Amino acid sequence: MPKHNSLLRTKTSSFFSSCFLYAAGTSASFLLAWAFWSFFSSPAPSANPSPSRGLASEAALSCPAGKAGHNRSYDPPDPTFYDDPELSYTIEKTIKNWDEKRREWLEKHPSFAAGAADRILMVTGSQATPCKNPIGDHLLLRFFKNKADYCRIHGYDIFYNTVLLQPKMFSFWAKMPAVKAVMLAHPEAEWIWWVDSDTAFTDMDFTLPLDRYKAHNLVVHGWPHLIHREKSWTGLNAGVFLMRNCQWSMDFMEEWASMGPQAPEYDKWGVIQRTTFKDKTFPESDDQTGLAYLILKEREKWGNKIYMEDEYYFEGYWMEIVGTLENITDAYTGIEKRERRLRRRHAERVGESYGKVWEEHLKDAGYGRGSWRRPFMTHFTGCQPCSGDHNQMYSGQSCWDAMQIALNFADNQVPRRYGPVHRDLLDTSTVPPLPFDYPASDLVGGAS
């Protein structure tokens, strides 16, 4: 693959040439991420429009009742689990018979039942107060825009949380109360997808292979041998996970959360985790090691329903990804030069069909480390964009530059549908338009 990219004339090469690549699982031993963190085309004018009804009113009459035909304006008077005064969204209160309650709710709301089996709702968040890092709020806004772009392109809903739903469950533990509350508030969703605030989607076309997970209830990025043989707490990363909205998950989160700072045995679990996973260096009980412990010690009860995804970047460590983005862009541009279908302008709403065309050309690209396929998600573990308290193994500037590069790399896949791109991945504001049929012309600039 070419070593240089016409769209990338930055200092990234010199910066990353001095950085060696780390395996995500191994490096995570230093990096415990702080995770709290829809033009419509107007119809062609009629040759004989009705004198009593204009085109605008015709369009209005043709509008669906809501997203994918969901009837959002009617809630039947029949009682549901929401009418139970004992229902609690808190992490401490046990939820029972959740599968039956969800099923009954969907039966009473049939417009939401169609497609429910594959419906995904993304959850992410950040702290309630301004960031200490002067550019932290800007970075978090860009990370959120990235997630909102991905969700809009693929038709997913997204929930952004900025409060501690359990005040004692701070930092990485804060995700659990949020996920449970979202499950209860969204019985129409089959999957709840937690994504840390410092994680960016760097392949806007890739979609989750849900068929692969049909026999499982929880998906995390991890490597089974590191958990079972090496007994390493870095054998997985809990900053991104996909959890089925079901009773199993309610029960699992209750047990997982029992290791958290709100629980009476928090200190005890810190000791157990360090005793079990010798490479864990800090004494406090944490969510990632807790998850690894349940996979290791409770295989029959929990582990067999947890899918450890290691075939693609379900989340990937930024240090081994960002330095490869130049060559990846060159490879994709080369494919576009050869494949006219990929150069065709199209509505954003039908973008997934072009994702399928991309897949025809990416069969030999591989996945994960060493691949020239766009990495699905890039996780800036250890950079702490809000607090600025980054891991000391690299500088804060290296983190901020890498975030800009990855976010602009991802962003180029979005405004590209509207015409412009970032020529320089370290220049967020300059987005010159591309010529028609680019990159067949090899020129950047001109009329779009």
Of residues 154, 172, 285, 296, the one with CA closest to residue 222: 296
Report pLDDT for 368. Answer: 82
**Whole-structure pTM value:** 0.83
In angstroms, how far is CA 302 from the centroid of its own chain?
23
| pLDDT for position 413 | 93
Domains of the chain: 86-309 (3.90.550.10), 318-418 (no CATH)
In a 3-state reduction of DSSP, which class is residue 158?
A: strand
Rg of the chain over CA atoms, in angstroms?
23
3-state secondary structure of 217: coil
CA–CA gap between residue 156 and residue 149 (Å, rounded): 10
Q: Where are the beta strands (DSSP E) in 82-156?
A: 120-125
pLDDT at 195: 98
- Segment holding 114, helix H or strand E: none
Task: Give average pLDDT by consecutive 10-residue segment, the chain, 448 residues.
Answer: 38 41 40 37 38 37 54 92 94 95 96 94 96 96 97 96 93 94 97 98 96 98 96 97 98 97 96 97 96 97 97 95 94 93 90 89 88 96 94 91 96 83 85 87 45
The number of C-alpha atoms within 13 Å of 323 and in the hemisphere containing its C-beta is 16
pLDDT reported for residue 33: 37
What was the pLDDT predicted at 334?
94
| CA distances in angstroms from 150 to 63, 77, 157, 428, listed in the order given | 24, 36, 10, 18
